[in-house]
């Protein structure tokens, strides 16, 4: 059984209002009426007090209770706010820079930069009143069911290793650190006779692995399956579009760095763009997960007043600019020049900023400064998608990204983003115009930004299980906790192999 871990939730501290006379009246009123009100108020500059699910001064809560008919109800990834006269009050999410030191202290206690959801899961292998294991064996393999908890997915931030966490079997290029474990087993050809309908197969997105799978492995698969291709800078499905369109057993193909030929239509709608997420190598997850736990995982884009309440038009100064420019990515300098101008002409105070600077900075300092901006530019990394995009979204900053083939649109569907055509050739005026037009658009003004849920593993696990036809296999234990039934595949007397090693995953 895997270990369980509970996140440490931080408490927001609100400014108290010194109103001695009102305090006495308020306390008397509370005692007399046994009124229970939400203990959670923050003052917001222009929009007044806002309920948000954290500790607050009782007097302030009482004053707000007169105009708010329904107290805030905490949801899994945010706070649902009551309404006054049918007008919905939007939650104000505290910015990272206001909690920087507290977040740093919490993150310092976390040993690893990243842990898989499986590391945090509860795994049941024995028969229970609510779960009966099954086992099927052939000459070269066995398949048996286990029950894996789902609760750990709820607040697991998406990561570049999620494909391995979601799969039943996988073809893997490189070894991962020993502390990162997954349910899925390395796929051997001897295991293929045991694959069950709805098996989820992950391929590290290297051309060697994709060629090996489609040219040698696929012909031995006889059951419907779901494919994931992630964990590299390679495009999906790209050179293998034909297999995506013509494979009758392929139910869905989830792939990172979505790219198809310009003429591709994906007539069967099989391909689904899959987010890159955060890095497994850097402390992005452990820092941002602490921040989100302190804000109750609330969606920062529900309060659009940050972008709409300005009495001036946006300028390039509203865009956070921080990324490396080196020999492999010299074209990024065009973006820096367009948005930052000549730094040598800036004031000493401006030159101290991380944005537009070329010096390395601590991740916590980067996040603190970025959170003060309305937008952040995120050009492609080694692949089309980029960790930076998801860092910005989780900080409540709208990313400015490169527009691509419409097949990639789903990455940002129901999430805010400004997409620029050919951002490496665009001028400052083009960027600024795009910012203004986006915030004035119906897409932004009418957007609900429910895509916030796509930044957590829960969304992808349940969507993929549904596409695999396995949604009905979710069960509940005696206490109502959910588990999904997974097939654990094992070859007979075989050790793991990695496709980066010579002689493995060869077509010939």
The residue with greater pLDDT, 25 or 120, is 120
Q: Which long-range contacts (CB under 8 A, 24 or more apart) does 102-105 make?
A: 102/10, 102/294, 103/10, 103/287, 103/290, 103/291, 103/294, 103/364, 104/287, 104/364
pLDDT of 60 over the 60 cut: no
pLDDT at 383: 87
Using one digit for the tens of pLDDT, what is the confidence trace for 426-480? 999 999 999 999 999 999 999 999 999 999 999 999 999 999 999 999 999 999 9
Rg, C-alpha atoms of the chain: 25
Do 436 and 469 fall within a single domain? no
Residue 318 lies in a domain: yes
Residue 86 gets which letter from DSSP? T
pLDDT of 149 over the 70 cut: yes
The first and second tokens of residue 374, run together, are 């309305």
Do 252 and 308 fall within a single domain? no
Task: Look up the CATH number of the domain holding residue 351.
Answer: 3.40.50
Residue 326 lies in a domain: yes
Do 334 and 225 fall within a single domain? no
Do 391 and 476 fall within a single domain? no
Residue 107 lies in a domain: no
Where helices occur in 232-309 by DSSP H, the ranges are 241-246, 284-294, 305-308
Lowest mean pLDDT among 40-44, 212-216, 423-427: 40-44
> Where residue 24 falls among pLDDT bands split at 50, 70, 90?
very low
Do 443 and 311 fall within a single domain? yes
User: Mean pLDDT over residues 282-289, rounded?
Assistant: 98
User: Mean pLDDT over residues 405-426, rounded?
Assistant: 92
pLDDT at 45: 33
pLDDT of 39 over the 80 cut: no
Residue 294 lies in a domain: no
φ/ψ (deg, to 5) at 78:
155, -175
pLDDT at 403: 92
Using one digit for the tens of pLDDT, what is the confidence trace for 220-278? 999 999 999 999 888 888 788 888 888 999 999 999 998 876 555 665 689 999 999 99
State percent of the chain over pLDDT 70: 79
Contact residues for 255 (Cβ-Cβ < 8 A; gap 6+): 205, 227, 228, 229, 230, 235, 236, 237, 271, 272, 273, 274
Residue 329 lies in a domain: yes
CA distances for 40 relative to 49, 61, 91, angstroms: 10, 7, 11
pLDDT at 113: 95
CA atoms within 13 A on the CB side of 377: 30
Using one digit for the tens of pLDDT, what is the confidence trace for 105-134? 999 999 999 999 999 999 999 999 999 999
pLDDT at 311: 80
User: Which one, of 120, 161, 177, lies nearest residue 5 by Cα?
Assistant: 120
Average pLDDT of the chain to the nearest whole number = 82
The residue with greater pLDDT, 324 or 198, is 198
Do 430 and 323 fall within a single domain? yes
Residue 443 lies in a domain: yes
Lowest mean pLDDT among 156-160, 312-316, 483-487: 312-316
Residue 286 lies in a domain: no
Strands (E), 31-160: 41-44, 48-51, 73-75, 78-80, 83-84, 87-88, 123-124, 135-137, 141-149
> Where residue 21 falls among pLDDT bands split at 50, 70, 90?
very low
Would you tell me how many other CB atoms lie within 10 Å of the CB of residue 236?
A: 31
Do 178 and 259 fall within a single domain? yes
Do 237 and 314 fall within a single domain? no
Do 70 and 167 fall within a single domain? no
Report the C-alpha gap between 352 and 359 in whole angstroms. Answer: 10
pLDDT at 240: 83
Do 130 and 235 fall within a single domain? yes
> Where residue 34 falls among pLDDT bands split at 50, 70, 90?
very low
Domain limits for position 270? 118-274+456-491
pLDDT at 239: 81
How many folded domains does the chain comprise? 3
Do 45 and 174 fall within a single domain? no
The residue with greater pLDDT, 496 or 204, is 204
Last residue of a domain, one of 397, 431, 449: 449
- Residues 363, 284: contact at Cβ < 8 Å? yes
CA distances for 89 relative to 47, 49, 326, 414, 479, angstroms: 9, 10, 46, 20, 35
Report the C-alpha gap between 1 and 125 in whole angstroms. Answer: 8
Last residue of a domain, one of 427, 449, 471: 449
Contact residues for 21 (Cβ-Cβ < 8 A; gap 6+): none
Residue 196 lies in a domain: yes
pLDDT of 17 over the 50 cut: no
pLDDT of 85 over the 60 cut: no
Lowest mean pLDDT among 61-65, 92-96, 105-109, 112-116: 61-65
User: Which one, of 439, 329, 438, lies nearest residue 388 by Cα?
Assistant: 329
Last residue of a domain, one of 397, 428, 449: 449
Report the C-alpha gap between 400 and 389 in whole angstroms. Answer: 8
Strand 141-149 versus strand 169-171 pairing type:
unpaired
Report the C-alpha gap between 397 and 263 in whole angstroms. Answer: 34
Do 205 and 77 fall within a single domain? no
> Where residue 90 falls among pLDDT bands split at 50, 70, 90?
low
Lowest mean pLDDT among 9-13, 108-112, 149-153, 289-293: 9-13
pLDDT of 38 over the 90 cut: no
């Amino acid at each position: 059984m895997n270990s369980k871990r509970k996140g440490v939730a931080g408490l927001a501290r609100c400014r108290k209002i010194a109103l001695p006379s009102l305090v006495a009246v308020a306390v008397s009123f509370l005692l007399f009426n046994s009124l229970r009100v939400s203990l959670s108020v923050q003052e917001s500059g222009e929009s007044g007090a806002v309920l948000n699910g954290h500790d607050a001064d009782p007097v302030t809560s009482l004053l707000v209770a007169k105009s708010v008919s329904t107290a805030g109800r905490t949801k899994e990834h945010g706070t649902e706010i009551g309404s006054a006269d049918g007008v919905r009050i939007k939650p104000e999410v505290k910015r990272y820079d206001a909690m920087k030191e507290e977040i740093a202290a919490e993150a310092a206690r976390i040993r690893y930069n990243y842990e898989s959801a499986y590391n945090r899961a509860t795994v049941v292998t024995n028969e229970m009143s609510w779960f009966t294991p099954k086992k099927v064996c052939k000459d070269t393999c066995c398949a048996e069911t286990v029950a894996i908890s789902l609760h750990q997915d709820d607040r697991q931030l998406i990561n570049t290793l999620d494909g391995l966490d979601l799969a039943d079997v996988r073809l893997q290029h490189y070894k991962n650190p020993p502390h990162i474990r997954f349910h899925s087993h390395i796929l051997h050809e001897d295991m293929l006779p045991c694959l069950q309908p709805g098996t989820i197969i992950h391929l590290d997105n290297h051309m060697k692995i994709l060629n090996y799978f489609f040219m040698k492995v696929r012909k031995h698969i006889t059951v419907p399956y779901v494919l994931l291709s992630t964990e590299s800078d390679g495009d999906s499905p790209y050179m293998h579009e034909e297999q995506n369109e013509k494979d009758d057993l392929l139910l869905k193909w989830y792939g990172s760095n979505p790219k198809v030929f310009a003429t591709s239509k994906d007539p069967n709608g099989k391909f689904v763009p899959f987010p890159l997420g955060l890095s497994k190598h850097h402390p992005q997850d452990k820092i941002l997960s602490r921040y989100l736990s302190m804000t109750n995982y609330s969606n920062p884009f529900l309060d659009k007043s940050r972008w709409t309440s300005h009495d001036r038009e946006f300028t390039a100064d509203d865009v956070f600019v921080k990324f490396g420019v080196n020999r492999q990515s010299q074209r990024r300098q065009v973006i820096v020049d367009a948005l930052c101008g000549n730094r040598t002409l800036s004031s000493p105070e401006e030159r101290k900023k991380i944005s537009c600077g070329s010096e390395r900075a601590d991740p916590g300092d980067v996040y603190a400064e970025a959170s003060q901006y309305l937008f952040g530019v995120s050009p492609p990394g080694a692949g089309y998608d980029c960790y930076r995009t998801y860092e910005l979204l989780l900080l409540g900053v709208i990313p400015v990204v490169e527009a691509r083939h419409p097949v990639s649109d789903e990455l940002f569907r129901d999430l805010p983003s400004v997409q620029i055509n050919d951002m490496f050739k665009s001028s400052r005026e083009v960027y600024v115009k795009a910012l203004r037009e986006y915030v004035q658009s119906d897409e932004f003004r009418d957007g609900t930004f429910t895509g916030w849920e796509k930044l957590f593993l829960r969304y992808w696990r349940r969507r993929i299980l549904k596409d695999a036809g396995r949604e009905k296999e979710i069960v509940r234990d005696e206490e109502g906790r959910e588990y999904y039934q997974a097939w654990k595949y094992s070859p007979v007397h075989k050790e793991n192999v990695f496709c980066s090693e010579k002689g493995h995953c060869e077509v010939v």
